[in-house]
Structure 1
Amino acid sequence: MLHKAIDPCFELLLDLDSPVRQLGTNYQFVEGPIWHPVENHLLFSDIPGDTRRRWDGSGVEDVSHATHMGNGMTYDGDLNLLVCEHTTSSVVSIDRDGRRSPLATHFEGRELNSPNDIVVRSDGSIYFTDPLYGRMPGYGVERPAELGFQGVYRISPSGDLQLVVERAMFTAPNGLCFSADESQLYIDDTDQANIRVFDVERDGALANARIFATDIFEKNEQGVRDDDLGVPDGIKCDQGGNLWVTAPGGVWVFDRDGKHIGKVRVPEKVANLHWGGPDWRTLFLTATTSLYAIDTKTGPHEEPFMRCGTE
């Protein structure tokens, strides 16, 4: 078997012999995959290469060579592209004509660290993580941080920026996604190797933080945690409420109760993932130097931008 079922229910989500297909390679470090529901293509980021690329079934082509070392991406309900930029420490919106508008740059008068991953709720509010990776050599511009913590933020529909977690809670907040009904928000911490889940209140605030999954790492022969094998980074929820997170060896899958049910094996260390394709059953994987895809038996829970292709 190519992949591993820890619980038999995993085979309802993925054929254990389903091949992982390499769609493109020889990149520097790829991230941020996002599928366009109308134009039917995948965008993804090459952070050190400062390049945004597109795959549409016929191959990969460059679409931008000046991305401010963009990382995580998504679309809003109007299909404006939202990008987390490392070198500007900003979340920006790029409209269909290419006009770029900053949405978040500072908190309490200090520059954000480096927005990393991003998701949009049905009410139009935007949530993003803000670790320090974009202030490290190779993945941004090396410079001291102005904030003394690594937070998670919400941009309200009116444009207000709000810190939605305790300042000391995370040491490296990274991937985030909503549950299928948007009543919960999952956020992983790469440094702590865990996933937290929060209740989302009516006003968009987060409450009742608790650990959903932990020890998302493997050890080397010396018994020491080896992040070169993979870390919790990108995270997505499928239509059944299962959580798919990048991890050692590829992608680990947890059911809605936090039980580890299976592993998707990928040849390279995976940084992020996103479903797409005509039926939303192709899981795209950005993995270090390559873009991969694998067919699944499930698809994503419906995010706001996904409805644009059906209206």
Structure 2
Amino acid sequence: MTPTRRTLLGAAGGMLGTAALARGATAQSFPFAPNQRYPDPAVQVLDPSFAKYRIYSSTLEQVATGMRWAEGPAYFPEGGYLLCSDIPNNRIMKFDEKDNSFTVFRGPANYANGNARDRQGRLVTCEHSVTRRVTRTEKDGSVTVLADSFEGKRLNAPNDIVVRADETIWFTDPLFGINGEWEGSRAQPEQPTTNVYRIGTDGKLAAVITDLVNPNGLAFSPDEKKLYVVEWRGTPNRSIWSYDVNADGTVGNKTKLIDAADQGALDGFKVDRDGNLWCGWGSNGALEPEARDVGGRRVHQLRGKSEDLDGVMVFNPQGKPIGFIRLPERCANLTFGGPKNNRLYMTSSHSLYALYVEAHGAV
């Protein structure tokens, strides 16, 4: 039998639903086979303190594939499923743990990027191009617009989002979704700065951080007294900044917690109950200044090898790297899920990966 795209995807992922294949699943996918040896060598202990989070008999799984750029995972324990964005394909995908199906949850999805579950179990979403707004999907399926402008001007491109225990909603607003045509439509920014915003329980929008250049992922410490934010540009390397959260919802005491290596790229991340930061990691795309001979051509190659950088870097609360999970694709974002909140889901380029760990998500 001549292999078809469907049979190839089925062999590679083993868990793609027919709806995912039916609607634009034309992105490249990669054959993947779980490691047969325990402990899985993909889980690397960089510091002895990380060893307690590794499950000896747990291995990395590719649970879905066929996306173009996977982002924004959010887990819903009531239904036992995970939603994630496939941004260039303009859709939100659903992975159901009960039957391992992978189907289209919403499409078109206004180029959704970051997603989160609020305290009532509703989906909140960053629509980071065209509509350029933050929405909430109600239990009846209707959509409520929570924010689309600030001080009379349109938001830039809402990116990542988190819901605090007090039910305030925090999100980043860089330029990525309006910088080109790949993840939406090119547009001129109206905001003078790229901010981190807070939506109060009264619905009012406040800019809590205005001095970061393209803020990206964000998360709170387990006690929610600190806010961590990735700055994509503006420092020599990508960084995570730490802020103290004040009682009135403002932040202060800006401190650099993590400075990525000049080859590394911080993106989305989550915090576990012990305060460790589990960070999407990969090449930042920087090129070597000098071209090298490759097959008779002078080529400016990447600084660092993608295969050495792609994965999840884990930092302790003091910002020290303690563990690394190697992935065959660049990891943009991740979340904790599963019935016990100890299954790490990683949205990585074309695929969704999962790994059981001895850690639990802080929220």
When normalised by structure 1's length, the TM-score is: 0.90
Match of 2:273 in 1: 239
CA distance in 2, matches of 1:62, 1:53: 5
Counterpart in the other structure of 1:121: 164
Aligned 8 A contact 2:42 2:327 in 1 = no
Q: Which residue of 2 aligns with 1:151?
A: 195
> How far apart, in 2, do the equivalents of 1:77 and 1:195 lie?
26
| Alpha-carbon distance, 1:72 to partner | 0.5
CA deviations 1:51-78 (Å, max 9, x no partner) are: 1111112220111112101110112111
Aligned-pair CA distance for 1:18: 4.0
In the TM superposition, 1:258-297 aligns within 5 A as 258-297=319-358
- Give, in whole Å, the separation in 1 of the partners of 2:315 and 2:227: 15
- Compute the displacement of 1:19 (Å): 2.3
Measure, in 2, the Cα distance between the counterparts of 1:291 and 1:203.
38
Q: Distance in 2 between matches of 1:267 and 1:273?
A: 15
* Overall identity of the aligned pairs, in %: 37
* Distance across 2 between alignment mates of 1:189 and 1:206: 16
What is residue 214 of structure 1 aligned with on the other side? 259
1:133 maps to amino acid: F
- In structure 2, what residue type is equivalent to 1:75? R
Structure 2 distance, partners of 1:198, 1:10, is 25
Alignment of 1:93-132 (within 5 A): 93-132=136-175
- State the SS of the aligned residue for 1:291: strand
Shift of residue 92, structure 1, vs aligned partner: 0.6
CA deviations over 1:224-282 (Å, ceiling 9, x no partner) = xxxxxx62111110011111111132111111111111111111000100010111111
Within 1, Cα distance between the matches of 2:159 and 2:55?
31
Q: How many residues align?
A: 289
- Residues of 2 paired with 1:217 and 1:204: CA distance? 33
Equivalent of residue 244 in structure 2, options 183, 187, 199: 199
Post-superposition CA distance 1:167-217 (Å, at most 9, x none): 3x2112110001000000100112341000100111111111110010244
Question: Aligned runs of 1:1-311 on 2, under 5 Å?
Answer: 1-15=41-55, 18-57=58-97, 58=99, 59-86=101-128, 87-135=130-178, 136-165=180-209, 167=210, 169-191=211-233, 192=235, 193-218=238-263, 231-248=265-282, 249-301=310-362, 303=363
- CA spacing shift, 1:11–1:76, aligned 2, 3 Å: same
Q: How far off is 1:96 after superposition? A: 1.5
Say which SS state the counterpart of residue 184 (structure 2) adopts: coil
Q: Which has the higher contact order (CA 8 A, sep 6+)?
A: 1
Larger radius of gyration: 2
Separation in 2, partners of 1:237, 1:16: 22
Report the AA paired with residue 181 of structure 1.
D
Query: How many Å apart are 1:2 and its aligned residue?
Result: 2.1
SS at match of 2:50: helix
Q: What secondary structure sits across from 1:68 in the alignment? A: coil
Offset, 1:20? 1.6
**Could you say what secondary structure the match of 1:9 adopts?**
helix
Is the CA contact 1:151–1:173 (under 8 Å) kept in the aligned structure 2?
yes
- TM-score normalised to structure 2 length: 0.77
Q: CA RMSD of the aligned region, Å?
A: 1.3
Question: What residue identity is the alignment partner of 2:208?
Answer: V
Letter in 2 for 1:294: L
> Is the contact made by 2:72 and 2:334 (CA closer than 8 Å) also made in structure 1?
yes
Unpaired stretches in structure 1, ≥5 consecutive residues: 219-229, 304-311
Distance 1:172 1:18, change over 3 A: farther
